[in-house]
Chains A and B, each alone.
Chain A
Amino acid sequence: MPLTQPPRDEDGNVTPHDHDGIGAGDTIIRRISSEWVVRGKNGKPRLSSLAFKPSSGPNGGMSIDLEVLILEDELSPREHVTTPRWTGSIWWPARTIRAQNLMVGFEPLEEDPPHPPNPYHGEVWSKVVKGNKRPFTSSQQDDLRKTADWYVAIDGVAIVEESEPGSG
């Protein structure tokens, strides 16, 4: 069933919210650019913390795709999240994100050249406002990393850094 329209401010911008129509078990996908691959303490490739940070703009969130909406349109989620250019992606059930005191909302994006429309786009927002921003805490970023799994993997890259041999 299509989601109800999200709340908007007087300028028409979607405001941070936790959407009732996004179910606890719904799959939340986050696209991951290869630009975010670094080498960790163990010398092996892993994701930078930037992959788990929201936009630094006012009311900024972390962009996601809502798998259930893509499936309802009988499209391939894997194809959608790797278009227009190839990226990896990770996923969580919505309940896992909400358990970290974060909100999962719906923010469909209209075409804005050169960007194509993305009617399945959403955002993860912090509930806590600092100034006009909604930064994630270190703990929330760490939890997002630890609870994520690959949706479309980037070969040889870890989400969570493996401990060095003998480090416990």
Chain B
Amino acid sequence: MERLQALIRLPAGWDGYRARPVEFNTAEFALRMLERLCPSGTPTPWIVPGIDGDVQIEWHFAKGDVELHVLRPNNVHAWRQTEQTGDDGEELELTNDFRPILSWVQEISEPDVAADAAAA
């Protein structure tokens, strides 16, 4: 929440060129999306501003990466890369149904039971 508030207050040209701050409506949509995607226990993502008032939500774990690029409300480009998806990863265009992403985030963030057992 605080991070999104900071991003809508970025100065014009924050990227050294002519980037705009994150749009209020886009930040609000991203917040609602995160509320649905992040029940308690879900790791906190990185939140990164785009140059056109857009925002990107990112999770990075040893098992893989998930990035949700919120271009504007109801226009989200989702991408993930895991060992199974290969280098190019897997992409989805989403509007307001983020159920596929829940499993993406869970898959990369859940503890590696086999590795933990081996380490023990």
Residues of A within 8 A of B (CB): 31-33, 35-36, 38-42, 48-50, 53, 55-57, 60, 63, 81-82, 84-85, 87, 89, 109, 112, 114-115, 118, 121, 138-139, 142, 164, 167
A87 to B13, CA, bound (A): 11
Q: What 0/1 readout, one digit per residue, does chain B (51-77) give for beta carbons within 8 Å of chain A?
A: 110101010111001010101000000
Quick one: which of B10, B17, B60 contacts A40, CB cutoff 8 A?
B60
B12 in contact with A114 (CB, 8 Å): yes
A39 in contact with B46 (CB, 8 Å): yes
B16 in contact with A36 (CB, 8 Å): no
B46 in contact with A38 (CB, 8 Å): yes
Residues on B with beta carbons closer than 8 Å to the beta carbon of A167: 62
Interface residues in B, total, Cβ within 8 A = 32
Residues on B with beta carbons closer than 8 Å to the beta carbon of A55: 51-52
B17 in contact with A121 (CB, 8 Å): yes
A41 in contact with B62 (CB, 8 Å): yes
Whether a CB of chain A sits under 8 angstroms from the CB of B48 is: yes
13 A-B pairs (CB sep. < 8 Å): A31-B17, A35-B49, A38-B46, A41-B61, A42-B62, A49-B58, A50-B49, A55-B51, A55-B52, A56-B52, A63-B17, A81-B16, A85-B13
Q: What 0/1 readout, one digit per residue, does chain B (85-96) give for beta carbons within 8 Å of chain A?
A: 001110100000
B15 in contact with A87 (CB, 8 Å): yes
